[in-house]
C-alpha cells in the first residue's frame, strides 16, 4: 500500500487531523488565489494541532509557523487569513459529519484557535468509541508494512531479571502499538542457549547437582539452573583467589589482565571449556544434559512470560544460528569483504563506518557473539521477509549493533538499512527492598520483583480501603495492580533514560501512577453496576465490544515438551460477584450518542477533547517507537475524568436524559482507558 493512501485511510478516524488537513487546504487555495501559482508544498506532518494554554482561548490551536517560510508571509498574517477564510470550509465539513461543529475561530498571534460546539463534539467522539471504530475498538487501517520486533533475549543459565523486565515491557508494548497503528507485527525471541556461560551451569550441575530436578527442589526450572550458575561463579572466584595466593599475588594486585590469566589456568574453567567443546562436537551425553537443563529453564520462562503477558510468533536459538553466521563470515572472506589475520582469525575492517575493526572468528575457528547475530539476522529475513526489523536491547549494546548493521551492509544485504536498534537504559531498585534479593547475587529476579509488587499492592489496597476483599479475587487483583504500577512507571519515560523504580512510591491510587488509572476504570464500572442494581440502567442498555487482540492464540511460544494451559496471574477472574460481567467490555449506552448532544459542562467538554486526542497520540507513539506518549495520555485522561467525576454527578444527574448521557460518556472513557492500558500490557480491573 502506498504510504499516502495508508495515511489518508487512517486520517478519517481522527477528526483533529481532518481539521488540520482542511486548514492546510484553505491555505493552499488562498496562496493560489493571491499569488496565481501552484499550491504551496505544505507538509502535513510539519503541523501539529495543539491545545491552547487556557480553555477560554479555545479548544484547538493550529500553529502557523511551519507555513511561514513556504508562503513567504508572517505567521500572524497567515493566522488572520485563516480566520477569514476557514469558517466556510469548516462549516461544510461539519454539515457532512466529518468533523464536529466549529462555533468560532480566532486568530491569536501566530495561532488559529478553534472553539468546538460541546454537544457536537460529544456526539462525534462518543459515536466513534461506542461503535468500536479504529483505533478505539479496532486497529487503524492496514499500512501494508510488516515489522519484526525482537525482544527479551534471555540466557538459559539464569532466570529473567529486572533488566529483562524493562526489555519485555518495551517489546510487548511496542508490538501492541504498531499492531494498533495498522502494521503487521512479528514478535520474536532470541535465546542465548549456547556458550561458555551455559557450560558453566552444566558443569556445576554435574559436580554438585546430585540428580536434583525442579520438581524435587520445589523451584522453578530457570531458578534451579540459575542457582548452579551462581555456584560455579562462586567456586571459580574462590579458586582464582587460591591460585593468586599460590603465585604470591596479593588481592589488591589482581587487575583485569591477571583475572584473565588466572582463568586460563583454572581447572574449573578448563572443565567448562571442555564441556563447550564436547557440546560443539555434539557429544550425545553432553547434548542430553543441555537439552534437559534448557527444558527446565523454558518451563520457568513460560510461567514468567505468561504472568507479564508476553507472546511470541517464533523463538530463535543461537545454537541453531551460530553455524550460519560462520558460513556468512567464510563467504565474506572468499569475497574479500573480511580478512584473515596472521593467527588465522577473521576480521572485519569497519573504519569506513567510523568503527574499530571487529573479530568475527577466533584463531581456532570458533565464533564470537556478533557472528551468531549475523546468522540470526539473515535467517529472520529469510523466514519472514519483513519491511523492517527492530531489536529491543539495552543501551550497553549500542556499539554492538552499529557493528552488526555495518557488517550486514558490507555483506550487501538489501535490507540492512531496515534494521533498527531500540536501546533502553538501566533499571535499579532502592536499597532495603525487603525480601527482594538476587539468586545470582547481582540483579533482582523478575519473579521476586513481581511477588514483592503484588504484596505491596495488596497491603496498600487493603489499608487504603481501595478494595473489597469479599468481592474480588484478591491475589489476582494485587498482581494486576503491582504490575500496573511497574509497567506505567517504566513506560511513561523515554526508553533511553536510566530509571530507579521504587514500588512503595509508585503503588499509589492517586497521582500519576498505573493504579490510579486502573482505579478510574474500576470506578466507572462500579458506577454502571450501581445504576443497574438501582434499576436506573439495564444490562441490555450496554453496547459491548471486546478489546482487539492482535496476538490471540500465539502463547509464549516457549519450546516446552507439553504446552499445558497455565493460569495467567495478571488476569482477573472471569466473573465479578458485584455486577454483570458485561460491564467490563461495555463501550457505551444504547441511545447514548443522541443523548450526548446535551453534554455542555466545561468538564464534560474537556473530557471529550481528551478522548478525541487518542488517535493522534497512538500515531505519535507508533512513529516514535515509544509507549511513553500513550502512558502520558492515560494519566492525562485519568485527570480529566477525575475533574468530570467531582463536578458532574452521574447517577444523581438532574434529569434522566442527562444521567444517561453522562453514563454513556463514562463508558466511552472506560473503553478508552481499557484500550490504552491494554497497549501497555496493563490489566484494567472492573472492580476494586
Taking a C-beta distance cutoff of 8 angstroms, is the pair 677, 684 a contact? yes
DSSP 62-116: EE-HHHHHHHTS-HHHHHHHHHHHHHHHHHHHHHHTSSPPEEEEEEETTEEEEEE
**How many C-beta neighbours within 10 Å does residue 463 have?**
8
Taking a C-beta distance cutoff of 8 angstroms, is the pair 27, 78 a contact? yes
- Please give the pLDDT value at position 444: 83
φ and ψ at residue 655, rounded to 5 degrees: -135, 160
- Please give the pLDDT value at position 365: 84
Whole-angstrom CA distances from 609 to 11, 118, 300 are 17, 9, 45
Beta strands 388-394 and 419-424 are parallel
Cell 517489546 sits on residue: 171
Q: Specify the DSSP element, H or E, that contains 391.
A: strand 388-394
Length in residues, the chain: 688
CA dist 337 and 357 (Å) reads 13
Beta strands 111-116 and 60-63 are antiparallel
Q: C-alpha angle 485/487/491, rounded to 5°?
A: 120
Cell 499500512 sits on residue: 143
Q: List the helix and strand counts (H, then E) for the chain.
A: 24, 15
Residue 411 grid coordinates: 555483506
Rg (CA), the chain: 29
- Please give the pLDDT value at position 282: 94
SS3 570: coil
Spans of the chain, pLDDT less than 50: 1-3, 5, 434-440, 563-579
Taking a C-beta distance cutoff of 8 angstroms, is the pair 224, 252 a contact? no
Cell 525480601 sits on residue: 435
- Please give the pLDDT value at position 12: 86
SS3 260: helix
- What does the pLDDT look like over 493-529, one tens digit per residue? 999 999 888 888 889 999 999 999 999 999 999 999 9
SS3 633: helix
Nearest Cα to Cα of residue 123 among 596, 671, 588: 596
* Contacts of residue 46, Cβ cutoff 8 Å, sequence gap at least 6: 66
**How many C-beta neighbours within 10 Å does residue 497 have?**
11
For the chain, the domains span: 3-116
Nearest Cα to Cα of residue 676 among 129, 183, 306, 136: 136
- Secondary structure of 103-170 in HEC code, one letter for each residue: EEEEEECCEEEEEECHHHHHHHHHHHHHCCCCCCCCCCCCCCCEEEEECCCCECCCCCEHHHHHHHHH
Taking a C-beta distance cutoff of 8 angstroms, is the pair 391, 171 a contact? no
SS3 682: coil
- DSSP alpha helix (H) spans, 366-397: 369-384
SS3 359: strand
Taking a C-beta distance cutoff of 8 angstroms, is the pair 686, 530 a contact? no
- Please give the pLDDT value at position 40: 57
Nearest Cα to Cα of residue 510 among 523, 519, 522: 519
- The verdict on domain 3-116 having CATH code 3.30.1360 is yes
- Confirm whether pTM is higher than 0.75: yes
Q: C-alpha angle 58/59/65, rounded to 5°?
A: 75
DSSP state of 53: S
- What does the pLDDT look like over 345-360, one tens digit per residue? 999 999 999 999 999 9
- Secondary structure of 206-232 in HEC code, one letter for each residue: HHHCCCCCHHHHCCCHHHHHHHHHHHH
Write b or e for each residue in 234-265: b if 16 or more Cβ atoms lie within 10 A of its Cβ, otherwise e.
ebbeebbeebbeeeebeeeeeeeeeeebbbee
Amino acid at each position: 500500500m502506498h504510504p499516502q493512501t495508508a495515511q489518508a485511510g487512517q486520517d478519517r478516524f481522527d477528526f483533529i487531523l481532518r481539521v488540520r488537513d482542511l486548514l492546510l487546504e484553505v491555505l493552499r487555495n488562498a496562496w493560489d488565489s493571491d499569488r496565481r501559482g501552484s499550491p504551496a508544498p505544505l507538509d502535513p506532518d510539519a503541523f501539529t494541532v495543539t491545545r491552547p494554554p487556557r480553555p477560554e482561548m479555545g479548544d484547538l490551536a493550529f500553529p502557523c509557523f511551519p507555513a511561514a517560510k513556504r508562503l513567504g508571509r508572517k505567521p500572524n498574517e497567515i493566522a488572520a487569513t485563516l480566520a477569514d477564510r476557514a469558517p466556510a470550509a469548516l462549516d461544510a465539513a461539519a454539515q457532512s459529519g466529518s468533523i464536529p461543529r466549529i462555533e468560532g475561530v480566532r486568530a491569536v498571534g501566530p495561532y488559529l484557535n478553534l472553539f468546538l460546539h460541546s454537544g457536537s463534539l460529544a456526539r462525534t467522539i462518543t459515536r466513534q468509541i461506542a461503535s468500536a471504530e479504529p483505533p478505539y475498538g479496532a486497529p487503524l487501517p492496514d499500512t501494508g508494512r510488516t515489522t519484526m520486533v525482537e525482544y527479551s533475549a534471555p540466557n538459559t543459565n539464569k532466570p529473567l531479571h529486572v533488566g529483562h523486565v524493562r526489555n519485555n515491557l518495551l517489546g510487548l508494548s511496542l508490538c501492541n502499538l504498531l499492531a494498533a497503528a495498522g502494521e503487521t507485527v512479528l514478535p520474536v525471541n532470541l535465546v542465548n542457549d549456547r556458550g561458555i556461560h551455559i557450560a558453566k551451569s552444566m558443569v556445576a550441575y554435574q559436580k554438585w547437582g546430585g540428580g536434583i530436578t525442579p520438581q524435587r527442589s520445589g523451584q522453578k526450572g530457570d531458578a534451579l539452573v540459575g542457582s548452579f550458575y551462581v555456584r560455579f561463579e562462586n567456586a571459580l572466584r574462590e579458586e582464582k583467589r587460591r591460585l593468586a595466593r599460590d603465585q604470591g599475588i596479593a588481592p589488591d594486585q589482581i587487575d583485569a589482565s591477571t583475572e584473565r590469566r588466572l582463568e586460563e589456568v583454572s581447572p574449573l574453567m578448563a572443565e567448562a571449556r571442555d564441556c563447550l567443546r564436547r557440546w560443539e562436537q555434539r557429544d550425545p551425553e553432553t547434548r542430553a544434559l543441555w537439552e534437559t537443563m534448557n527444558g527446565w529453564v523454558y518451563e520457568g520462562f513460560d510461567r514468567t512470560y505468561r504472568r507479564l503477558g508476553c507472546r511470541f510468533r517464533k523463538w530463535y536459538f543461537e545454537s541453531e544460528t551460530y553455524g550460519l553466521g560462520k558460513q556468512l563470515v567464510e563467504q565474506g572472506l572468499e569475497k574479500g569483504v573480511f580478512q584473515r589475520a596472521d593467527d588465522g582469525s577473521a576480521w572485519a575492517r569497519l573504519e569506513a563506518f567510523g568503527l574499530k575493526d571487529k573479530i568475527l572468528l577466533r584463531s581456532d575457528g570458533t565464533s564470537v557473539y556478533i557472528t551468531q547475530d549475523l546468522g540470526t539476522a539473515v535467517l529472520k529475513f529469510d523466514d519472514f521477509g519483513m519491511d523492517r526489523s527492530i531489536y529491543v536491547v539495552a543501551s550497553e549494546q549500542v556499539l554492538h549493533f552499529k557493528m552488526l548493521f555495518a557488517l550486514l551492509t558490507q555483506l550487501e544485504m538489501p535490507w540492512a538499512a531496515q534494521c533498527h536498534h531500540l536501546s533502553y537504559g538501566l533499571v535499579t531498585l532502592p536499597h532495603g527492598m525487603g525480601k527482594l534479593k538476587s539468586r545470582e547475587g547481582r540483579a533482582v529476579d523478575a519473579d521476586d520483583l513481581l511477588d514483592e509488587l503484588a504484596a505491596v499492592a495488596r497491603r496498600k489496597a487493603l489499608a487504603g480501603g481501595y478494595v473489597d476483599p469479599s468481592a474480588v479475587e484478591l491475589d489476582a487483583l494485587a498482581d494486576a495492580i503491582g504490575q500496573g504500577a511497574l509497567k506505567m512507571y517504566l513506560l511513561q519515560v523515554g526508553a533511553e533514560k536510566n530509571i530507579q523504580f521504587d514500588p512503595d512510591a509508585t503503588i499509589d491510587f492517586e497521582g500519576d501512577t498505573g493504579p490510579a488509572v486502573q482505579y478510574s476504570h474500576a470506578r466507572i464500572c462500579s458506577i454502571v453496576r450501581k445504576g443497574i442494581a438501582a434499576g436506573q440502567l439495564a444490562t441490555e442498555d450496554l453496547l459491548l465490544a471486546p478489546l482487539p487482540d492482535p496476538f490471540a492464540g500465539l502463547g509464549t511460544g516457549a519450546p516446552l515438551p507439553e504446552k499445558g494451559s497455565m493460569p495467567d496471574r495478571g488476569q482477573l477472574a472471569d466473573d465479578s460477584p458485584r455486577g454483570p460481567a458485561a460491564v467490563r467490555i461495555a463501550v457505551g449506552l444504547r441511545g447514548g450518542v443522541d443523548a450526548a448532544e446535551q453534554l455542555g459542562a466545561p468538564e464534560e467538554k474537556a473530557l471529550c477533547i481528551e478522548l478525541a486526542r487518542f488517535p493522534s497520540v497512538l500515531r505519535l507513539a507508533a512513529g516514535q517507537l515509544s509507549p511513553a506518549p500513550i502512558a502520558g495520555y492515560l494519566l492525562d485522561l485519568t485527570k480529566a475524568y477525575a475533574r468530570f467525576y467531582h463536578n458532574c454527578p452521574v447517577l444523581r444527574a438532574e434529569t434522566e436524559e442527562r444521567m444517561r448521557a453522562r453514563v454513556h460518556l463514562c463508558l466511552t472513557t472506560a473503553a478508552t482507558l481499557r484500550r490504552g492500558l491494554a497497549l501497555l500490557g496493563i490489566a484494567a480491573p472492573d472492580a476494586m
